[in-house]
Amino acid sequence: GQQVMQIPQYQHVQEGEDFTTYCNSSTTLSNIQWYKQRPGGHPVFLIQLVKSGEVKKQKRLTFQFGEAKKNSSLHITATQTTDVGTYFCAARNAGGTSYGKLTFGQGTILTVHP
Amino acid sequence: NAGVTQTPKFQVLKTGQSMTLQCAQDMNHEYMSWYRQDPGMGLRLIHYSVGAGITDQGEVPNGYNVSRSTTEDFPLRLLSAAPSQTSVYFCASSPGAATYEQYFGPGTRLTVT
């Protein structure tokens, strides 16, 4: 089945430092979504990328979709304590028969030290 | 709108017991799904439904049953609970399939002893 590998598993930063998490797939993706889960909470949708090479920004967050549509990244500039949580990517294969199946990466747990 | 609701929030079962985790949404979403979350393994898809009367298996369907008799409800049944099913279970819904954002419920934390 489809696998989406996400790295790193953990990231500890000082407040103000930057943070990046990466998702990689061996197959071409139709789209990729990013979610954030606060400790003890549920995943909340952040953004979806669909086009090859797409870059989207939300304030301090920058999302990229690779040219080959096999990888994606989420970059946070100047982290704040409110950024703490687990960040997940989720993707669907392009052209597959698994309509409706969204595969999640393992997630990156971000801790921010004040 | 209440969004996606799940009951119960916490549950402890003994091995071999059966139970149903409830999920309901009031957004008239066609697509609903169940995930389990275990440390270091992300969210794994158990079953999903693209509309009332239609269900399909995800990555880890063994030991679980689902049905979708209405658009609003998508219960998950554990047939004979096992300690390996100790996990946090999330229900999610979206207007369509995987190309739409998913709205997650608050989760059910299940412990099987």
pLDDT of residue A99: 57
% chain A with pLDDT above 90: 81
Tens of pLDDT, residue by residue over B28-38, are 999 999 999 99
- Which pair of structure tokens corresponds to residue A24? 């990689």
Q: What was the pLDDT predicted at A100?
A: 61
User: Which residues in chain A have their CB less than 8 angstroms from residue B31's CB?
Assistant: 100
* Of B11, B20, B5, B4, the residue nearest B87 (C-alpha): B11
**B10 at A interface, C-beta within 8 A:** no
- Residue B96's pLDDT is 79
Residue A96's pLDDT is what?
A: 55
In chain A, beta strands by DSSP E: 4-7, 10-14, 19-25, 29-37, 43-49, 55-58, 61-65, 71-76, 85-93, 103-104, 108-113
Give the model's pLDDT for residue B108: 97
Residue for token pair 């747990």: A109
pLDDT of residue A52: 96
**Least CB–CB distance from B98: residue in A88, A101, A106:** A101
**Residue A46 in this model has a pLDDT that exceeds 60:** yes
Chain A residues within 8 Å of chain B (Cβ atoms): 1, 6, 9, 30-31, 33, 35, 41-45, 48, 50, 88, 90, 92, 99-107
pLDDT at A85 over 60: yes
Predicted confidence at residue B7, as pLDDT, reads 97
- Of A33, A43, A105, nearest to B104 by CB-CB distance is A43
Are B34 and B93 spatial neighbours (Cβ–Cβ below 8 Å)? Answer: no
User: What local confidence, expressed as pLDDT, does residue B40 receive?
Assistant: 78
Tokens (6 digits) for A62 = 């920058």
Token couple for A50: 């669909």
- Counting as low any pLDDT under 50, the low residues of chain B are none
Tell me: the pLDDT tens digits for A47-60? 999 999 999 999 99
Q: Per-residue pLDDT for A94 more than 70? A: no
Cα separation, B62 vs B26, whole angstroms: 28
Please answer yes or no on whether A88 and B44 come within 8 Å at the CB atom: no
Partner A contacted by B101 (CB < 8 A): yes
> Does the structure show a pLDDT above 60 at A97?
no
- Beta-strand (E) ranges in chain B? 4-7, 10-13, 19-25, 31-37, 43-51, 54-57, 64-66, 76-78, 87-94, 103-104, 108-112
pLDDT at B68: 97
pLDDT at B46: 95
Chain mean pLDDT for chain A: 92
**pLDDT in the model for residue B1:** 75
